[in-house]
Amino acid sequence: MAREAIVQGDNAADEEKKRDAVLRPRLLKEVIGQKAVVQRLGIVLNACRKLKEPLSHILFDGPPGLGKTTFATVLPNELGTTIQMTSGPALTRPGDILPFLTNATEGSVLFIDEIHRLPRVVEEFIYPAMEDFRIDIVLGEGINARTISMPLKRFTLIGATTRSGMLSGPMRDRFKMHEHLDFYSVEELATIVTINARKLQTQLSAEAAVEIAGRSRGTPRIANARLWWARNFATSEAEGHITLDIARSALAMAEVDTLGLDKQDRRYLETLIGVFEGGPTGVDALTATMNLPGDTLSDEIEPYLLREQMIVRSPRGRVATAKAYEHLGKPRPSDESDRLLF
Report the distance separating Cα 253 and Cα 235, nearest Å: 15
Using CB under 6 A as the criterion, what x/- string covers residues 95-124 for binding ligand ADP?
A: ------------------------------
Half-sphere exposure of 321 (CA within 13 A, CB side): 11
Residue of the chain from 41, 54, 57, 69 that contacts ligand ADP (CB under 6 A): 69
Residues forming a β-bridge with 61: 161, 180
Tell whether residue 65 is a contact of ligand ADP (CB under 6 A): yes
In this structure, are residues 197 and 233 in contact, taking their beta carbons and an 8 Å threshold? no
Give DSSP secondary structure letters for 79-94.
HT--EEEEEGGG--SH
Q: List, in sequence order, every beta strand (DSSP E) within the chain.
A: 58-61, 83-87, 109-113, 134-139, 146-151, 156-161, 177-180, 311-314, 317-320
Confirm whether 69 is a catalytic residue. yes
| Active-site position among 70, 86, 161, 162 | 162
Residue 130 or 190 with smaller CB distance to ligand ADP? 190
Interface positions, 198-237, toward ligand ADP (CB under 6 A): 220-221, 224
Residue whose CB is nearest to ligand ADP in the complex, by number = 67
| Active-site position among 61, 70, 73, 113 | 113
In this structure, are residues 170 and 115 in contact, taking their beta carbons and an 8 Å threshold? no
Residue 23 or 48 with smaller CB distance to ligand ADP? 23
Handedness of CA 92, 94, 100, 106 (dihedral sign): positive
Say if strands 317-320 and 311-314 run parallel, antiparallel, or are unpaired: antiparallel
| Active-site position among 24, 68, 217, 231 | 68
In this structure, are residues 97 and 86 in contact, taking their beta carbons and an 8 Å threshold? yes
Report the distance separating Cα 5 and Cα 287, nearest Å: 19
| Active-site position among 24, 215, 221, 318 | 221
CB 154, min distance to ligand ADP, A: 25
Interface positions, 243-302, toward ligand ADP (CB under 6 A): none
Confirm whether 68 is a catalytic residue. yes
Using CB under 6 A as the criterion, what x/- string covers residues 14-33 for binding ligand ADP?
A: ------x--xxx-----xxx
| C-alpha closest to that of 303 among 221, 226, 232 | 221
Q: CA-CA distances (angstroms) from residue 81 to 69, 77, 84, 110?
A: 16, 6, 10, 11
Residue 41 or 269 with smaller CB distance to ligand ADP? 41
Residue 123 or 179 with smaller CB distance to ligand ADP? 179
Tell whether residue 159 is a contact of ligand ADP (CB under 6 A): no
Residue 61 or 265 with smaller CB distance to ligand ADP? 61
Confirm whether 162 is a catalytic residue. yes
Interface with ligand ADP by CB under 6 A: which residues?
20, 23-25, 31-34, 64-70, 160, 192, 220-221, 224
**Which are the catalytic amino acids?**
68-69, 113, 162, 221
